[in-house]
Amino acid sequence: MSGGSQTDGASTPAFTADWFSRSIPAWKHLFPRVMPRPQRILEIGAFEGRSTCFMLEHILPPDLSGEIHCVDSWAGGVEHGGIAMDAVFDRFRTNVAAMLKRFPQHKVIGHRALSSTALRDLHAKGFAGTFDFVYVDGSHQAADVLEDLVLAFPLLRRGGVVICDDYIWQRQRPGEEDVLDTPKIAIDSFTTIFRRRLRLLDWHSTYQVAFQKTVA
């Protein structure tokens, strides 16, 4: 992995949390139809690398080189209080290193920073219009999610796909929801305001929203 010190991986990835497996059937349905061979992926929110490892194995093309840029502060969001995030970052590096031994044609580039900084850096480095797929799964605060979408969208090429996780996520008990503490209002606002530049994809998950960029 670049973007952090190299770690020799154990042969099999190890995870302590699973927020991703529920999405696998829908991803396996969507990708072959809409985005069969994404070669450059941007992931906002990688945690221990569970979704990163899945993309290395199942989403990047097996016969071509590919790369995943993982943007994460590895400081946790407001919902990650009490989690030792430096240990999470170590597990991310170990898990990804293990997977890259199986898929040496691919690269994972870690960007350990707030997404608001890292995404602007990607613009400054000339990545606008170069990503095939963006997975948005970082902060769940509405203002952060909106900023992630506004900054990530121009990094995507025409025809590129965005999947937003945690569409219906909320921390508060029913009846006490704080709408600004949820991704939904940001995802709805973005897809409404940008609707002439994207098309919402037919999607088989209530927990995620997917759309395709229709402009250059």
Return the residue of 114, 146, 150, 201 that touches ligand SAM, per CB under 6 A. Answer: 114
CA–CA separation, 151 vs 117, rounded Å? 10
Instruction: Based on the shown chain and the rule CB under 6 A, indicate whether residue 109 belongs to the binding site for ligand SAM.
Output: no
- Cβ proximity to ligand SAM: between 47 and 211 the closer is 47
Q: Which of 94, 95, 139, 182 binds ligand SAM (CB under 6 A)?
A: 139
89 binds ligand SAM (CB under 6 A): no
Q: Residue 9 has which token pair? A: 């991986």
Choices 1-9, 65-73, 155-163, 171-179 (CB under 6 A): range interacting with ligand SAM: 65-73
Q: In what order do the strands lie in the sheet with 198-200?
A: 106-112, 66-72, 40-44, 131-136, 156-164, 209-213, 198-200
Tokens 């998950």 belong to which residue?
A: 205
What mask of x and - would describe binding to ligand SAM in positions 23 to 62, judged by CB under 6 A?
----------------------xxx--xx-----------
Strands 156-164 and 131-136: parallel
Among 4, 66, 138, 183, binds ligand SAM (CB under 6 A): 138
* HSE toward the beta carbon, residue 48, CA cutoff 13 A: 17
Q: Decide whether 94 or 115 has the Cβ nearer to ligand SAM.
A: 115
Among 26, 34, 75, 109, binds ligand SAM (CB under 6 A): 75
Nearer to ligand SAM (CB atom), residue 207 or residue 214: 207
The reply on whether position 132 binds ligand SAM by CB under 6 A is no
* Residues in contact with ligand SAM by the rule CB under 6 A: 19-20, 45-47, 50-51, 71-77, 114-115, 137-139, 144
